[in-house]
Amino acid sequence: MPELPEVETIARGLRRTLAGRVVTAVEAPDPSCLAEGPASFASRVCGRTILGVRRRAKLLLLDMDPGLTLAVHLRMTGRLVASAAADAPQPHARLVLRLDNGGRLLFADCRRFGTVHAFSPGELELWPFYAALGPEPLEINAKQFASRFAGRGGRIKSLLLDQGLLAGVGNIYADEALHRAGICPLTRANRLTNKHFSNLFKELKAVLRQAIRENGSSTRDYRDAGGNAGAFQNSFQAYGRAGEPCLRCASPMVAAKVGGRTSTYCPACQPPL
């Protein structure tokens, strides 16, 4: 589910609700999400104050005082929702942090792919997954973007999904950016020109920013920190539109597997190179 815009939306929502809150108790109905035993995790988290919530790539980072950072990866179906104590029990609850104001932070995850790590200061940067992440697409320039991909023999769609090359882009926004840029997802990066890269970079940033403004895309499971759906799914031009007419040229959109992921594109607007 959650890609950069969704995780960013959740981080912004949680920041408002959680900043300054103290964790008073931890419940772990499904501790398999934890990178350590539930008792150890609880002892490290209880009594700490949540200072802020950040996003890096598709990770939610909760900074706590005294020094501790929780790294939550929602994978496909994870949700992180701040709620009042009186809320009905959520299905698929995996972890609950009780807070000093009576509220709670719930991690729910139907498919149970999501993970929660607790890092002492300095440990996060040593985590291999974190250390291998590429740059944030909204924090680099066009030249840096192009240099990540230029000359590579892989298909551009697969490269966009490679978190080591660029962090935060997933299947939805890769397809949307490629459609907007008029680039076939099957194209090998070494066939793309500087013009292609600058256009792709511009469209990728535009679609990510628009999706953030619209609180992300809810195709199915995604909800924000308040439990609400996003709106960007109403603006999809490519993702999930196989068989439907291209919104630019009316040709039927097609689906292809690229690197094992379904990719939807317009054969006319995104011709093979």
Q: Which residues are catalytic?
A: 2-3, 58, 261
Tokens of 195: 């013009």
Q: Which amino acid is residue 211, in one-letter code?
A: A
Q: Which is nearer to DNA, 50 or 106 (CB)?
A: 106
For the bound state, the minimum distance from the C-beta of residue 32 to DNA, rounded and expressed in Å, comes to: 7
Q: Compare residues 130 and 145 and give the one whose CB is closer to DNA.
A: 130
- Residue 82 or 238 with smaller CB distance to DNA: 238
Minimum CB separation of residue 127 from DNA in Å reads 9
Provide, rounded to whole angstroms, the least separation between the CB of residue 193 and DNA.
20
Residue owning tokens 């995604």: 222
Evaluated on CA atoms 53, 59, 65, 67, the torsion sign reads: negative
**Whole-number minimum distance, CB 259 to DNA, in Å?**
6
Three-state DSSP class for residue 215: coil
CA distance 182 to 167: 22
Q: Which residues contact 56 (CB under 8 A, 6 or more apart)?
A: 130, 133, 136, 167
Residues at the contact surface with DNA, assessed by CB under 7 A: 1-3, 6, 32, 57-58, 73, 75-76, 91-92, 110-113, 129, 153-155, 158, 161, 163, 170-172, 217-222, 259-262
* Nearer of residues 142 and 254 to DNA, judged by Cβ: 254
* Smallest separation (angstroms) from DNA to the CB of 3: 5
Nearest-CA neighbor of 165 among 55, 60, 157? 157
Closest to DNA by CB, 134 vs 267, is 134
Tell me the C-alpha distance between 2 and 160, whole Å: 16
Identity of the residue, 51 or 208, whose beta carbon is nearer to DNA in the bound complex: 208
* 143 phi-psi bin (left φ>0, alpha ψ -120 to 50, beta other): alpha
For 43-72, the three-class secondary structure string (H helix, E strand, C coil) is HHHCCCEEEEEEEECCEEEEEEECCEEEEE
Q: In what helix (H) or strand (E) does residue 105 lie, and over which residues does it extend? A: strand 104-109
Minimum Å gap between C-beta 231 and DNA is 13
DSSP annotation of 165 reads: T
Distances (CA, A) of 120 to 20, 40, 111: 19, 13, 28
